[in-house]
Structure 1
């Protein structure tokens, strides 16, 4: 399988932050932004894999600055690194005051997706070729994030053995 350049998976999406998108502070709901993040990241993962994908994990969402009502929000995503069937996707979120033109980085996120073949089972994905300084930095630091994901997943499996689906009153 031929490796692919990061730019082949890059996706950009912009939206106007409207009153129904905001909380009582007049800033964008975190959950709404997380939905946008998952959506744009999935587009990047599908572009890279050229197969359907599933979200395996949202590894992190770091909210750095609030996004105010009336601003625009622009999300950019791309695949930073791949394993055999999984892809790490980075998303950055920039808010813009539409009147002044001031822009701020408001959130960053890493997600993991697994590519699915026509049979619905995980399928191999191409390696990534980073080019820019940003892409190279993210690509080179990805194996350590992958190890953290593996440890967290092991913890989740251990928790699953302890937690029950029984009703609390039973």
Structure 2
């Protein structure tokens, strides 16, 4: 019998104080450090849902919306938005809080596709997802659409079918020099 879990069963929230050692040359928290935290929480969430070791298969677009300052408290929230047979999409939201003022800001969000693995490194089946409200249904459907969009982008210019000459006009708008 197929097992199902709600996204509440695997939701993970972590908070961490941002230290000077996490900052880049401009004094803001390094984006790579935040990405590492996002990957860790996506792993924890996916592993909790699948009850197995998980690996990151892909990361959907990450836009850094607002910089994070040293001394702010960063909170990452992760939940399973979509499941397939062996993979799941984990939504990750990053917020930061100025501890002195209490002001919160949304810094970024992204979607991590995680795959459950056994001890031999083989992909394994995962529990289904119980959709309990409109938000869960919306997130699931948006994941389907993002997956379809990614497939379209990948297939848009197959190398064997691509003719650069037919795209030279659009390149005039960009800071490039074409030497064929």
TM-score, structure 1 normalization:
0.85
1:39 aligns with 2:40: yes
SS of residue in 1 equivalent to 2:68: coil
SS of residue in 2 equivalent to 1:90: strand
Q: Which range moves more in the overlay, 25-34 or 131-140?
A: 131-140
Q: Hey, what does 2:64 align to over in structure 1?
A: 63
1:74 aligns with 2:75: yes
Q: Tell which structure's C-alpha radius of gyration is larger.
A: 2
Unmatched runs of 5 consecutive residues or more in structure 1: 159-170
TM-score, structure 2 normalization:
0.80
Cα separation, partners in 2 of 1:140 and 1:47, compared to 1, 3 Å: same
Q: 2-side partners of 1:25 and 1:134: how far apart?
A: 38
Please report the RMSD computed on the Cα atoms of aligned residues, expressed in angstroms.
Answer: 2.2
Q: 2-side partners of 1:149 and 1:122: how far apart?
A: 22
Query: 1:83: Cα distance to partner?
Result: 1.1
Q: 1-side partners of 2:50 and 2:90: how far apart?
A: 12
Cα separation, partners in 2 of 1:154 and 1:55, compared to 1, 3 Å: farther
Query: 1:119: Cα distance to partner?
Result: 3.1
Q: Hey, what does 2:131 align to over in structure 1?
A: 130
Unmatched runs of 5 consecutive residues or more in structure 2: 160-180
Query: 1:152: Cα distance to partner?
Result: 5.4
Cα separation, partners in 2 of 1:133 and 1:146, compared to 1, 3 Å: same
Q: Hey, what does 2:101 align to over in structure 1?
A: 100
Q: Hey, what does 1:5 align to over in structure 2?
A: 6
Deviations 1:50-83 (A, max 9, x none): 0111110111212111111110100000110011
1:50 aligns with 2:48: no
Query: 1:93: Cα distance to partner?
Result: 0.3
Deviations 1:24-73 (A, max 9, x none): 32211000000000000000000010011111011121211111111010
